[in-house]
Amino acid sequence: MITGIIPLYKPLGMTSFDCISKMRHIIHQKRIGHSGTLDPNVDGVLPVCLGHATKVVDFLMASGKIYRGSITLGFSTTTEDLDGEIIAENYDFKPLTDKQIQTGLNNFVGNITQIPPMFSAVKVNGRRLYDYARHGETVERPKRIARIDYFKELGQSIIDEKTHTQTIFFEVGCGKGTYVRTLAVDFGKKFGIPAVMSQLTRIKSGGFTLDETVTFEQLEKASQNGELASLIYPIGKALENYVKINLTDQQWSRIKNGAFLRFNEVNSNDEFVLLCYDGVDRALYERSEEKQQYKPFKMFNLD
């Protein structure tokens, strides 16, 4: 079984599940999982975990994400992007100045409350919201707290004299679970103007940037040539922020059986430590004040 992380470039038109399905076919392995869903009309960085690395998906998802995209003012849709049906229009608004735009974007920095779009995968009463939406049903959506690290304008906005719309280009750094579509719509609401997210690319996720991503074409070629290993990052890539402890032979023989480690063996005050042996990341251990030891939290690569 292959273990590690591949920073996949997710192309437009594919769901995240489509990507996993295609990767299983290329790599000939079932145990594969992604770290954060991207809508079909969004491209960019999609870290994919193979084998034992599926145990660190949560750590990849917890890291910050960065997106670049555009907001178009003048109309809004059922899906909050260009895929939906238009539900509101206003083409008589006064175009926003750069100062108004940046002030509006700054209003979202920090912890904000979002209501997920109806066309999303959030579950309510055991059903996905998009399932309710497709059947024309409405349901109360749970509010969520999202973290916005920064939200800034990129370059000059474009005013289209033919469509009477204004398109704003942006970059946003945010935490997991943030709906950028909803950010676009809520930005418009600040000015009383219907809005949609008109384009979006994820340029960073799980510590990987767009420049580090691998295309399906590259994967297929590497697989055919027996060079997949050159495209795979170790589990430790998802755990770079943790202190790394190199185990002795004696410690490794104990760790394989889930043994605890005394504080004086670890010599760290960190909540978590990454245990390594023979140059391979083997386990993540958690500090236990009650037991005065470090105990297993995630075990991987025990072969």
Pick the CATH number of 65-202 from 3.30.2350.10, 3.40.50.410, 3.40.350.10, 3.20.20.70: 3.30.2350.10
Whole-prediction pTM value? 0.86
Which region among 9-13, 113-117, 174-178, 271-275 has the lowest average model confidence (pLDDT)?
A: 113-117
289 pLDDT exceeds 80? yes
Size (the chain), residues? 303
CA 179, 182, 188, 190 torsion: positive or negative? Answer: negative
The 10s digit of each residue's pLDDT in 56-68 is 888 887 778 999 9
The 10s digit of each residue's pLDDT in 91-110 is 999 999 999 999 999 999 99
Catalytic residue IDs: 39
**Any idea which fold 242-299 has?**
2.30.130
Give whole-number Cα distances, 254 to 70, 234, 303, in Å.
53, 23, 13
Give whole-number Cα distances, 268 to 147, 239, 256, 278, 291, in Å.
30, 16, 21, 21, 15
Phi, psi of 184 (to 5 degrees): -60, -45
242-299 shares the fold of 4-63+207-236: no
Cite the DSSP H helix spans in the chain.
16-27, 57-62, 98-106, 129-134, 180-190, 216-224, 249-255, 263-266
Residue 166 has a pLDDT of: 97
CA–CA dist 96, 110 (Å, integer): 23
Name the residue type at position 191: F
Cα atoms in the Cβ-side hemisphere of radius 13 Å centred on 222? 15
Q: Tell me which CATH homologous superfamily contains domain 4-63+207-236.
A: Pseudouridine synthase (3.30.2350.10)
Contact 99, 87 (CB under 8 A): no
Q: For the chain, give every domain's residue range.
A: 4-63+207-236, 65-202, 242-299
Contact 183, 96 (CB under 8 A): no
